[in-house]
Chains A and B, each alone.
Chain A
């Protein structure tokens, strides 16, 4: 009898907490999203009217930012994957006794506050930094081109900030590959590219899936990079939600946008997991 109850007793406090402060808020968010302003009421006063057109209005009004959020997040995820894969591979297979040291070095930058680093990028890429004058001297960019306040800067900032979320899971699954399987592939006359395509990559897929998810999800909801490195032309959905909450005090629209973002991400994630077919996620 005790054995049957044990897991439930262990789960109870944590799940009670998550139910109160995660599930209930989401339900509440869904309720808020269909409210309308009380006629003649003060700013920030809303009543429940089940107005589902809130979603339609919010989406139409912000479809540009919506698209941008997903495009930027996708670009940042792909870039992070491209940068992280060889790095994780190098750490797993080529670092010898320095493996742990290099692993710590991957995480180390993230002990400095990410906001400080993002602002550092703003200054490095800015007019007074060393990158722009260098590129201009070599004629790579014209005198009128700037790097900050562009989509490039925002995507680069996101790629940088979410890089360890990509590198660590990738490392974990590449490190688990037995080097003998790669040797075996070579013995069977596969060249380097074939070995990578048929052996290394499939075996590292759990890491690729976990890494892309851990990068894409926070990137799609991010607004800090866009706020610091971008311009009004690079605003993402997060920026809109933030300003609806704090500046416009338009809770229903903010809630509708948040809820749409969450559902869109959940659908994408589900499709993605189905497609690549890993169950070993959590």
Chain B
């Protein structure tokens, strides 16, 4: 009798209930884990198949090799296409960043007649599907009898990058504390000095971010490029064209290398930023 009374208060939560409680508490973390798995499955797959000893068509796993990584330009055309993508990306990034930053300063820093129209003109290219942008530019080039190719592709990329640059830089300008510029003025800096020594350094991370965004949008673009590049091959176009007969493993190598390169850049940038904040 007395023994029974002593035993009763010992809290024994059954295993099932404990698991249930743990899951309940960490539900959102478990969810995030699943979501990230979903995001990374194709990346892992692309990376794994960059080591495939596949020959021409990289569809079925045939064995491990490092040859593709040793010789990333081994497949015909692949490095030529990559070179074109990088060239187009760099030129488009420089122009769209300059033009977009100027527009962002005009809209973000000044009150003027036609400001809302300007906002609309920036929003429109983003609200236009890529295929319409690409097709309409192609029809203009056809009328002007300009052959699609390198420069038409660069122009097309600048068009869709500008808006993203404006939005990114404008957000940075909006988050600035106006007191900092007032302080500079109080210390007898003229308008130009204030801009160069205070405003520009503060907006610089936004501009850098916008340039990175512009480059990655340009580098990864396929639809607009496909309409305006004619016989020129870019890296995404190379993949699309070779998809029909099988993509060489070298494309996986380049894709994976870009992934790790970009990831390293972002991490280094974050660390540098953190150090500066300290």
Contact = CB atoms under 8 A, between A and B. Distances in A.
Nearest to B61: A128
A205 interface: no
**Of A14, A213, A255, which is in contact with the most chain B CB atoms at under 10 Å from its CB?**
A14
Interface string A205-220: 0000000011001101
Contact of A110 (B35, B216, B243): B216
Contacts of B199: none
A17 B170 CA distance: 19
Given A7-B112, A8-B112, A113-B236, A269 B127 contact: yes
B220 A114 contact: yes
Nearest to A108: B263
A105 B36 contact: yes
Contact of A116 (B127, B129, B239): B239
B131 A221 contact: yes
A120 B42 contact: yes
Contacts of B136: 25-26, 28-29, 255, 258
Contacts of A104: 263, 266-267, 270
Interface residues of B, number: 83
Judged by DSSP, the binding face of B is helix
B123 A282 contact: yes
A168 to B, nearest CB: 11
A217 B133 CA distance: 12
Contact of B133 (A22, A123, A255): A22
A37 B167 CA distance: 42
- What's the interface size class on A, roughly? 35 or more
A140 interface: no
B211 interface: no
Interface string A115-129: 111111101100010
B143 A116 contact: no
Interface string B9-39: 0000000000000000000110110011011
A13 interface: yes
Interface string B145-177: 000000000011011001000110010000000
A262 B255 contact: no
A111 B35 contact: no
Interface of B: 28-29, 31-32, 35-36, 38-43, 45-46, 49, 59-60, 99-100, 102-103, 105-107, 109-110, 112, 115, 118-119, 121-133, 135-140, 142-143, 155-156, 158-159, 162, 166-167, 170, 216, 220, 222-223, 226-227, 235-236, 239-240, 243, 247, 251-252, 255-256, 258-259, 261-263, 266-267, 270
19 contacts: A7-B110, A18-B159, A21-B137, A26-B128, A29-B135, A29-B136, A32-B139, A94-B32, A104-B266, A109-B40, A112-B255, A112-B256, A163-B39, A217-B129, A222-B129, A223-B131, A245-B135, A245-B227, A251-B142
